Amino acid sequence: MSGPLISAALERIQPSQTSAMTDRATALREEGRDIISLSVGEPDFATPPHVVEAMAKALRDGQTRYTPVGGTSACKRAAALHFTRDLGIAATPANVTISAGGKQAIFHALCATLDAGDEVVIPAPWWVSYPEIARFAGANVIPLPTTPASAFRFTAEALEAAITPRTRWLLLNSPGNPTGAVFPADELLAIGEVLDRHPQVLVMSDDIYAPLRYSDEPHATLAALRPDLADRVLTVSGVSKSHAMTGLRIGFATGPEWLIRAMERLQSHSSGNPCSISQAGAVAAMQGPQDFLGEWRDIFRTRRDLVCAAVNAIPGLSTPVPDGAFYCLTDAAPLIGGAFRDDMALALHLLDHGVAIVPASSFGGAHCGLSGFRISFAAGADTLREAMRRIETAVKSI
């Protein structure tokens, strides 16, 4: 990727490994190979019909012009409704912004606030884009390693030890990608106490998987638990994962007004407004029925149980049962070092057997001593059964 005209900032980052693996699977399929792709993080459900209808109507009504950079007032009201109703955060249209996916909100927030040499504390394993965005913005990534034994959650003491005077952000992601880790309220409160001692630290709470929790505990999030930290917590959400709208690219963020305005200032020179038609869809998604979310979650729970049982029955593979999201981070350490130099080599072997997954190294697994791969269980039960059969055959063939 390097070249004489590439900037130093771009040289610091890698392309998204999840997109790379998905593109590879697509290319093999186009060559006629039978590949099951469990590499991508998107629900396989159809976008709800009332959302599709709202977008078709917006198109017919000619809503094809620029909108305000940070979103229409209708979409901002819908996002504020979501934060208040679903996450318990006192949001108003004045302190929310709409972006082209949650990813863009995170990109703009970090780029608007980081300078060279600043530090960003990121729990590992992490979502692929967090460290790359932080590095692009010139910051140093400080990994906060977690392990399957601690259900991929870090302690308040470990956080305290990771913070320095240069720390500008802590990135929190619950339920988490790629681990499915969910932080309970008492642990978030303990994290809040650490933050009380470090007023220079902003917190990104990425709650994009909030509806996908498999226990009956209510969703816990820092901005709701500690409203007094509101001046430095940015909560990110959206409709991609919750409402099967990944391609429509709508994300929401709420936080202190200075930060929301800073993100919009940057957005005014990057994408401008998010897609007008998609915004109309997001309004319908938030204002329309929500009851199907529970049904979708139950379907995901069944798939999770199917995949975890199958993984844990294959010698050399193991996984904890994730509490949320639709990923299962599988430990394959016993298989690495012999036939396979690293987990990327194992991933390519599985691809040869017709299943695309993403190696744990793409998610910073090395910081946690973890070699393995992430399985996305956002696919139908029959597809998942066939994929697990192929993985078993591939592992047994070693």
101: left (phi over 0), alpha (psi -120 to 50) or beta: left
Single out the segment in contact with ligand PLP by CB under 6 A; choices: 99-107, 149-157, 183-191, 308-316. Answer: 99-107
Give 194 or 248: the residue with its C-beta nearer to ligand PLP. 248
Site for ligand PLP contains 21 (CB under 6 A): no
Binding to ligand PLP in span 39-98, by CB under 6 A = 41
Binding to ligand PLP in span 228-247, by CB under 6 A = 238, 240, 246
Query: Closest distance between ligand PLP and the C-beta of residue 126, in Å?
Result: 9
Site for ligand PLP contains 179 (CB under 6 A): no
User: Which one of 173, 179, 242, 319 is in contact with ligand PLP (CB under 6 A)?
Assistant: 173
Single out the segment in contact with ligand PLP by CB under 6 A; choices: 100-108, 110-118, 192-200, 224-232. Answer: 100-108
Q: Where does residue 261 rank: exposed (0-12), middle (13-18), buried (19+ CB within 10 A)?
A: middle
Helix (H, G, I), strand (E, B) or coil at 195: helix
Distance of alpha carbon 171 from alpha carbon 139, whole angstroms: 13
Give 212 or 388: the residue with its C-beta nearer to ligand PLP. 212
Q: Are strands 372-376 and 358-359 parallel, antiparallel or unpaired?
A: antiparallel
Place of tokens 């240069």: 166
Query: Closest Cα partner for 208 from 168, 257, 172?
Result: 172
Give 67 or 177: the residue with its C-beta nearer to ligand PLP. 177
Query: Closest Cα partner for 87 from 208, 219, 176, 205?
Result: 219
| Both tokens assigned to 74 | 């209708």
User: Which one of 70, 102, 131, 364 is in contact with ligand PLP (CB under 6 A)?
Assistant: 102
Query: Closest distance between ligand PLP and the C-beta of residue 195, in Å?
Result: 20
Site for ligand PLP contains 103 (CB under 6 A): yes
Query: Closest Cα partner for 51 from 210, 287, 223?
Result: 287
Binding to ligand PLP in span 203-222, by CB under 6 A = 206, 208
Site for ligand PLP contains 101 (CB under 6 A): yes
User: Which one of 123, 131, 180, 251 is in contact with ligand PLP (CB under 6 A)?
Assistant: 251
**Cα end-to-end distance, the chain, whole Å:** 33
Strand-pair partners of 169: 120, 202
Query: Closest distance between ligand PLP and the C-beta of residue 180, in Å?
Result: 11
Residues 97 and 264 sit within 8 Å (Cβ to Cβ): yes
Task: Tell me how many degrees the CA angle 64-67-68 measures, rounded to the nearest 5.
Answer: 175
User: Which one of 113, 167, 177, 273 is in contact with ligand PLP (CB under 6 A)?
Assistant: 177
Q: Where does residue 397 rank: exposed (0-12), middle (13-18), buried (19+ CB within 10 A)?
A: exposed
Query: Closest Cα partner for 121 from 175, 177, 159?
Result: 159
Q: What x/- string results for residues 256 through 285 when contact with ligand PLP is judged by CB under 6 A? A: ------------------------------
Distance of alpha carbon 120 from alpha carbon 168, whole angstroms: 6
Query: Closest distance between ligand PLP and the C-beta of residue 60, in Å?
Result: 26
Query: Closest distance between ligand PLP and the C-beta of residue 207, in Å?
Result: 9
Binding to ligand PLP in span 126-165, by CB under 6 A = 127
Give 173 or 254: the residue with its C-beta nearer to ligand PLP. 173
Binding to ligand PLP in span 297-356, by CB under 6 A = none
Residue with the closest Cβ to ligand PLP? 101
Distance of alpha carbon 232 from alpha carbon 202, whole angstroms: 5
Distance of alpha carbon 25 from alpha carbon 254, whole angstroms: 36
Residues that bind ligand PLP (CB under 6 A): 41, 101-103, 127, 173, 177, 206, 208, 238, 240, 246, 251
